[in-house]
Amino acid sequence: LRLDASNLPAFARGCAVLAAGASGDPELGLVIALRAVEEHGPIEVIDPADLDDGALVMPCGAIGAPTIADERIWNGDEGGVLRDAVERLHGSTVRALMCFEIGGANGLLPVGWAARLGLPLVDADGKGRTFPGLHQQAMHLAGVPAGPMAMTDGRGNTLVLRAVDEGWAERLARGVAASLGGVCAGALYCMPAERARTATVAGSPARAVAIGQAVAGTREARRRPIAIADALGAAMLIEGRLVDVERRAGHGFVQGAATVQGAGRDAGRQLRLELQNEYLLALEDGEVRAAVPDLICVLAGDTGDPIATEGLRYGQNVAVIAARAPDIWLTGDALALVGPGAFGYEVEYASV
């Protein structure tokens, strides 16, 4: 796979779908990435098996408040600053970048940085989607340490963080991001390629492109939700209209629920979505129809555009789809990290 002007818009659309409802618009990141490939040429997306065992892989992206990230003007040098800091910390050359989170804007930023640095992007990410927690990553599950983490604002300020545990890493990283203006660029879970082959969610960038291309290849806009579901191997949970949205912001998270009233062949059915930044549970008649880490997406019924939790409005026509999580998230340990219980829901995970 090679990312260039021909498929970056599709990639960005795929990243938006994989955000699972999290805010963090990939549009700005797309503009930066397009500009970067125009100036520096396309980005090779490579299998980590094609790198030497010891080749240093740098997972990176934005850390902080996504709503601020949407308005943050990056200068494009952030990736280089992070690379320099990581090389200093590891005493080794960075051979490839990786998105630590493929969903939303975080799928795009590393692409622009890779283009500018002339480095390939590994065809994997840390989450396969978006999760709110910095440590909700496949690397964490595999025992790769998050630190030393490098963070920069791209204005010349750089911080390196070594935390005693993942809870502190998260707390300190958010504190640093706040000091740096609400959001910053960060590199964490740096590891040799040998580990990146198994301690990551494989194929996420390619999956994002496939989703976006499925949309682009579907002329009739109303057919796009189904095209996206097909590309993801997802089930269509319901098509209908939003009849209730309750949402409250607190502790930097959007929490709430939304109810979809079925229409057409789904008439008479009701699906309730539980959300915390992302869509985490889909319930029907009190039964779990889909649960995190399965990917639950709300798509606009007439365009297939993914609707973020913050974009839900009463009366919208929507299609709700759910795709089975990558296998790496389905072990007991993984479900303890990213399953319903990790978000405070007392329900059992059952694959969609």
Give the binding site for its own copies (CB under 8 A): 155-165, 168, 171-172, 174-176, 178-180
Least separation in angstroms between residue 67's CB and its own copies is 19
Output the CA angle 283-284-285, nearest 5 degrees.
120
Q: Which is nearer to its own copies, 155 or 313 (CB)?
A: 155
Q: Which is nearer to its own copies, 85 or 300 (CB)?
A: 85
CB-based contact 212:10 (threshold 8 Å): yes
Least separation in angstroms between residue 160's CB and its own copies is 4
Neighbouring C-alpha atoms within 13 Å toward the C-beta of 169 = 23
CB-based contact 153:202 (threshold 8 Å): no
Beta-carbon contacts of residue 73 (< 8 Å; ≥ 6 apart): none
CB-based contact 19:96 (threshold 8 Å): no
| CA distance linking residue 145 with residue 143, whole number of Å | 6
Q: Which is nearer to its own copies, 68 or 236 (CB)?
A: 68
Least separation in angstroms between residue 189's CB and its own copies is 17
| CA distance linking residue 47 with residue 129, whole number of Å | 19
Q: Which is nearer to its own copies, 121 or 161 (CB)?
A: 161
| CA distance linking residue 170 with residue 166, whole number of Å | 6
Least separation in angstroms between residue 180's CB and its own copies is 7
Q: Which is nearer to its own copies, 6 or 179 (CB)?
A: 179
Q: Which is nearer to its own copies, 169 or 226 (CB)?
A: 169
Least separation in angstroms between residue 271's CB and its own copies is 40
The residue among 177, 183, 191 whose CA lies nearest residue 141 is 191
CB-based contact 333:316 (threshold 8 Å): no
